[in-house]
A and B are shown apart, each in its own frame.
Chain A
């Protein structure tokens, strides 16, 4: 299976400016442009009033940024996360943030119809769940709210540092 195909095929952006965004502050700059859009998608997937903690309460947007910029994260998927957001922005003609819940649902389901969009949404969901259900040392899963919701707790000993102090 060629994993990287889904990262490239299907995007209208033919050449990514992010590939060259090597320096981390460059990446941060690029991320800032789509930060709110990604946060809105995370909130739509993990809303308030669900049986699991919400995206905003768990600060998963910060988690997402810190996670994908860590050196242990796949560098191609890191770029894919930004490109996929930009693609959604294009497809919704820059309106996504101002949409109501119903419109957002429709837009995301439309995006999901393409394998590119579906892969991107799946990736956002995975990274978000990594935040809500990983050890609180990573900054999300605040007060173990994610674990409490599932009555499932991380094992002992718990990590004292992120990524085994890599």
Chain B
């Protein structure tokens, strides 16, 4: 028996890595979390738009580290490195990962999302399968995430609202802008049920974290009170308090090394500050680097025992990458035509909209047909000042400048507020959406970069457009002006999953139902990579929940000394 400094090494400190670290450290195991980025502490965060939203401060410079994206152009797949397009696929490479910067609008997946194929049958051109677990297996962990991460909300009965094992959230919803009166009434007029959105933002103090202070700049920014349920605040800090966690920031993992067929024995790690390379050994390894990067790491870890990448005896590694399909739209609530509420109330800053619609999650209509739909979130347009000032300042293809620009910009900020919706529907897994290694491009550490083909299934667009039309009606009913929406097959790079499907059959999946490699027992993948289908809601709650579930299994494996 070898003695290790660590029982478990976790690659990545985001939502899933944090949930595994939290559970294992509380259970008394020695854990090292390896995070490529640096640590930004709560009191170091600020609402600096220029730094956080307009420069790559919390993500790598694209000339150093990047992806290659393959898009279909005139029937051909065209590959473009992201340093060339400026389209970054990084989402917050600091301790806590992108959970630091989320808006935190969360939903559980619906029970039928776990059995999409049984429920809706085959869809031509899509690789839809049922999950090897059911909602009942996940429910206790949704609840655990709700309580540990601190998700606020209010349960309302709705045919498409997943059932829950406790009556309601322990944290009530965050405070809401008066616009919800207008939104709720407008929905009711259209016979639509608006629901309170659950949000991973505390409305009340919780342990070392303080309640939301309604800064008006939540999404894209780190939280300065600890209210946001980031992995850093909610999971890593308590894990550190156990004394069992070693948090290694500025640690880039090149590959996982194995000297036998059945086990990973160490991670090859580069200190990003000194450039020095070292080995970190452990009994068990958990990959949690965000879907596309987790697959890339396993591919880059290929060796003579696993020539096509770690745990890839099925040849499925990287396949069936998914994003979230849908789109968004918005309209202006203008001072002169505002109904029901006062303009001053509308203009009050910082308060949330907290509303979603699940009415079209499953569509069964005499005319429209029967199909899987999606969910909708309502929010104000992001309140960033520079980006709002920069919008809509072209007329007839020409820039507006001079005093005309002054008129336009001040009008935009003082005479209206834009209300927005975002649609989330299934990104159907298909043969044209996958991640592989680029054959020529390497990052600054000399490792091949991930190449992402991002093809979408035509059904995704149809569903998105169907829902967008309904949402435009809601905005119209609210009295909004200049309404527009956009639904496109362009993937949102911050909502990414799949690539290491879980399943019961080692021939067709990478991971077993506990997200443990079929091929290598001491290797787990804890992030959203496991998801064969994505549901029609943002992934975060499911990522937290599943990682708690995986962590319990890891504890079991370690307790039973299945791995020594």
Name which residue of chain A comes closest to B50, CB basis: A134
The CA-CA distance from A84 to B50 in the complex, in Å, is: 23
Q: Which of B25-33, B371-379, B384-392, B447-455 contacts A (4 or more CB under 8 A)?
A: B384-392
Q: Which of B39-47, B191-199, B292-300 contacts A (4 or more CB under 8 A)?
A: B39-47
Is B54 interfacial (CB-CB < 8 Å)?
yes
Chain A 1-60 residues near chain B, CB threshold 8 A: 1-4, 44-47, 49-52
Is B148 interfacial (CB-CB < 8 Å)?
no
Is B123 interfacial (CB-CB < 8 Å)?
no
Across the interface, A130 reaches (CB within 8 A) one of B54, B61, B213, B216, namely B54
B403 contacts A49, C-beta separation under 8 Å = yes
Is B484 interfacial (CB-CB < 8 Å)?
no
Is B135 interfacial (CB-CB < 8 Å)?
no
Measured between beta carbons, the chain B residues less than 8 angstroms from A73 are 55
Measured between beta carbons, the chain B residues less than 8 angstroms from A3 are 84-86
Residue from A154, A155, A166 whose CB has the most chain B CB atoms within 10 Å? A155
Residue from A2, A46, A52, A163 whose CB has the most chain B CB atoms within 10 Å? A52
Name which residue of chain A comes closest to B409, CB basis: A52
B401 contacts A2, C-beta separation under 8 Å = no
A112 contacts B399, C-beta separation under 8 Å = yes
State which size class the interface on B falls in.
35 or more
B51 contacts A164, C-beta separation under 8 Å = yes
A133 contacts B389, C-beta separation under 8 Å = yes
B51 contacts A125, C-beta separation under 8 Å = no
Is A121 interfacial (CB-CB < 8 Å)?
yes
Question: How would residues 48 to 91 of chain B score, 1 for a CB under 8 Å from any chain A CB and 0 otherwise?
Answer: 11111011110001010000000000000000100011110000
Measured between beta carbons, the chain B residues less than 8 angstroms from A150 are 385, 389, 409-410, 413-414
Closest-CB distance, B249 to chain A (whole angstroms)? 14
Measured between beta carbons, the chain A residues less than 8 angstroms from B86 are 3, 74
The CA-CA distance from A45 to B407 in the complex, in Å, is: 13
The CA-CA distance from A158 to B216 in the complex, in Å, is: 13
Across the interface, A50 reaches (CB within 8 A) one of B52, B85, B399, B405, namely B405
Closest-CB distance, A104 to chain B (whole angstroms)? 10
Across the interface, B51 reaches (CB within 8 A) one of A74, A121, A133, A159, namely A159
A147 contacts B385, C-beta separation under 8 Å = yes
Measured between beta carbons, the chain A residues less than 8 angstroms from B224 are 156-157
B386 contacts A134, C-beta separation under 8 Å = yes
Is B402 interfacial (CB-CB < 8 Å)?
yes
Is A151 interfacial (CB-CB < 8 Å)?
yes
Closest-CB distance, A100 to chain B (whole angstroms)? 14
B399 contacts A125, C-beta separation under 8 Å = yes
Residue from B61, B401, B405 whose CB has the most chain A CB atoms within 10 Å? B401
State which size class the interface on A falls in.
35 or more
B49 contacts A154, C-beta separation under 8 Å = yes
Closest-CB distance, B250 to chain A (whole angstroms)? 14
Measured between beta carbons, the chain A residues less than 8 angstroms from B63 are 75
The CA-CA distance from A133 to B390 in the complex, in Å, is: 10
Measured between beta carbons, the chain B residues less than 8 angstroms from A90 are none
The CA-CA distance from A74 to B409 in the complex, in Å, is: 26
A156 contacts B215, C-beta separation under 8 Å = yes
B403 contacts A130, C-beta separation under 8 Å = no
Measured between beta carbons, the chain A residues less than 8 angstroms from B61 are 72
A156 contacts B405, C-beta separation under 8 Å = no
Name which residue of chain A comes closest to B403, CB basis: A50
Is B466 interfacial (CB-CB < 8 Å)?
no
Closest-CB distance, B514 to chain A (whole angstroms)? 39
Chain A 120-164 residues near chain B, CB threshold 8 A: 121-122, 125-126, 129-130, 132-135, 137-138, 146-147, 149-152, 154-160, 162-164
Name which residue of chain B comes closest to A51, CB basis: B406
A2 contacts B84, C-beta separation under 8 Å = yes
Is B217 interfacial (CB-CB < 8 Å)?
yes
A109 contacts B47, C-beta separation under 8 Å = no
A133 contacts B386, C-beta separation under 8 Å = yes
B46 contacts A157, C-beta separation under 8 Å = yes
Name which residue of chain A comes closest to B394, CB basis: A122
Is B439 interfacial (CB-CB < 8 Å)?
no
Name which residue of chain A comes closest to B49, CB basis: A134
B57 contacts A47, C-beta separation under 8 Å = no
Given contacts A50-B403, A52-B405, contact A152 B57 (CB under 8 A): no
B46 contacts A159, C-beta separation under 8 Å = yes
Across the interface, A164 reaches (CB within 8 A) one of B57, B215, B385, namely B57
Question: How would residues 232 to 255 of chain B score, 1 for a CB under 8 Å from any chain A CB and 0 otherwise?
Answer: 000000000000000000000000
B50 contacts A155, C-beta separation under 8 Å = no
Closest-CB distance, A3 to chain B (whole angstroms)? 5
CB-defined A-B contacts under 8 Å, sample of 24 = A2-B85, A44-B401, A45-B402, A45-B405, A50-B405, A50-B406, A51-B406, A51-B410, A52-B409, A72-B56, A112-B398, A125-B390, A125-B393, A129-B389, A133-B389, A135-B49, A146-B385, A150-B409, A151-B414, A154-B49, A155-B217, A155-B221, A159-B46, A162-B51
B residues apposed to A, CB below 8 Å? 40, 44-52, 54-57, 61, 63, 80, 84-87, 213, 215-217, 221, 224, 383, 385-386, 388-390, 393, 398-399, 401-403, 405-407, 409-410, 413-414
